[in-house]
Amino acid sequence: MTQKAEKLFSWEEKIEKILENVKIVESDFKRRGASSEIHTRILESVMDEWNKCRNPVFEERAFQMDFVGRTFSRHGKIELAIEVDTWWKPIGNWVKLLDINSANKIWIYICREKEKALKQFEGSIKNFRKLAKLRGENDANNVTLFMKVADGKGVQKSHLFE
């Protein structure tokens, strides 16, 4: 496995474990400032994991992304970029992920409604792929897509280019 593939697999695995361990209930979707409680908890869990594996990162809002992890603070290469959404069609966030130069790009969809979750996630994947095709993207600019449902078990995972 190449070093690039190892890093990608490693962060995918770490984020998947974070999502598996986080408990989500419907009340977590209440607004807390500019975002929801679950949005904040997931990002705090990612930051904690990042700080265990890399040098501590100061919160950085580079590119208006939810999380940007660099090889070294402020000026280092971007190793991990994450967007967390509770809406299934955040086209602006998908554009940001496609624009950022990082081998590890992750979009996390947190869904409140169990009954609609799978259909919305599949619709997201379809729309995200359509956007990537319009932009002329290929598998060199891949994004890992996760979905976690309130009161649900497990995590759905896909890749933009499979």
Q: Rounded CA gap, 60 and 44, in Å?
A: 13
pLDDT digits (tens, 9 = 90+) for 58-94: 666 667 899 988 887 777 888 999 999 998 899 999 9
DSSP 102-135: -S-EEEEEEES-HHHHHHHHHHHHHHHHHHHHHT
The values of phi and psi at residue 71, to 5°, are -65, -30
Percent of the chain with pLDDT over 90: 59
pLDDT at 5 over 60: no
pLDDT of residue 64: 86
Segment 131-148 shows an average pLDDT of 96
**What pLDDT was estimated at residue 60?**
60
| Spans of all domains in the chain | 3-159
12 burial type by CB count under 10 A (0-12 exposed, 13-18 middle, 19+ buried): middle
- Residue 20 and residue 11: Cα distance in Å, rounded? 14
Positive or negative torsion for Cα 64, 70, 76, 81: negative
Note the pLDDT tens digit of each residue in 102-120: 989 999 999 998 899 999 9
What's this model's pTM, rounded to 2 decimal places? 0.88
Q: Are 91 and 131 in contact (CB under 8 A)?
A: yes
Q: Closest by alpha carbon to 38, among 49, 46, 27, 51?
A: 27
User: How far apart, in Å, are the Cα atoms of 109 and each of 70, 74, 134, 146?
Assistant: 23, 27, 22, 6
Which residues are CB-neighbours of 40 under 8 A, at least 6 positions away? 32
Distance between CA 9 and CA 26 in Å, rounded?
Answer: 30
